[in-house]
């Protein structure tokens, strides 16, 4: 049986294009969901995996539909191949395990090469985005329009932020350790240390 799997990461994204391509390929049953690809614990994907049997074909639009983690993709791929389930990746025709039935080892070699390449591309894209962000911040600073991340939990804060700030200061005044305050408030230790520094500075400035 030919199964399709379509996924997007958030509710406001559209599955239409993936579904159209999976239907055009001839998928008899399509599982779809709007879930993050951070791991494999997704309801529809797990339903699909539970029914895949030897001789079935799984079709996806691209490798990232499995998830974002290269090791997860590699492990899933190997698991399905061991189960004699074929995999077809529509946007990368080289990743069609049906082509390598008579060529022992070649299918896994192709998969390893492609996954390595994709991993490199992901790293390069991540580095490109970080570089662009740094350059954008630097340009904004030079123009005097960069304000940075909004500061939370400070003397001039409003609403919930001010309540949390006052509670941290109260605990500091009673001699509570940063670790204990972290446990009681749920704030990160770095945030508490920053509040403590600001609080000490204010005390010394009186």
For residue 87, give the H/E element and its range.
strand 86-89
- The four Cα atoms 166, 170, 172, 176 give a dihedral, to 10 degrees, of -130
Q: Is the CB of residue 5 less than 8 Å from the CB of residue 58?
A: yes
Q: Is the CB of residue 96 less than 8 Å from the CB of residue 89?
A: yes
Told to judge if 9 belongs to the known catalytic residues of this protein, a careful annotator would answer yes
Distance CA 65, CA 8 (A): 8
Distance CA 126, CA 128 (A): 5
Residue 59, burial from CB neighbour count under 10 angstroms (0-12, 13-18, 19+): buried
Catalytic residues: 9
């Amino acid at each position: 049986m030919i199964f399709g799997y379509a996924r997007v990461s958030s509710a406001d994204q559209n599955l239409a294009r993936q579904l159209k391509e999976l239907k055009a390929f001839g998928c008899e049953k399509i599982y779809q969901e709007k879930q993050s690809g951070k791991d494999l614990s997704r309801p529809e994907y797990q339903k699909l995996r539970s029914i895949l049997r030897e001789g079935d074909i799984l079709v996806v639009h691209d490798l990232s539909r499995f998830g974002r983690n290269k090791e997860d993709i590699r492990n899933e791929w190997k698991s399905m191949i061991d189960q004699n389930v074929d995999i077809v990746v529509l946007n990368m025709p080289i990743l069609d395990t049906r082509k390598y039935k008579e060529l022992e080892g070649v299918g896994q070699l192709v998969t390893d090469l492609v996954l390595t390449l994709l991993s490199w591309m992901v790293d390069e894209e991540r580095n490109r985005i970080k570089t662009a962000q740094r350059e954008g911040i630097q340009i904004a600073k030079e123009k005097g329009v960069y304000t940075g991340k909004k500061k939370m939990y400070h003397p001039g804060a409003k609403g919930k932020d001010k309540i949390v700030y006052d509670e941290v200061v109260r605990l500091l005044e009673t001699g509570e350790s940063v670790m204990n305050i972290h446990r009681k408030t749920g704030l990160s230790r770095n945030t508490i240390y920053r509040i403590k520094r600001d609080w000490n500075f204010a005390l010394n400035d009186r």
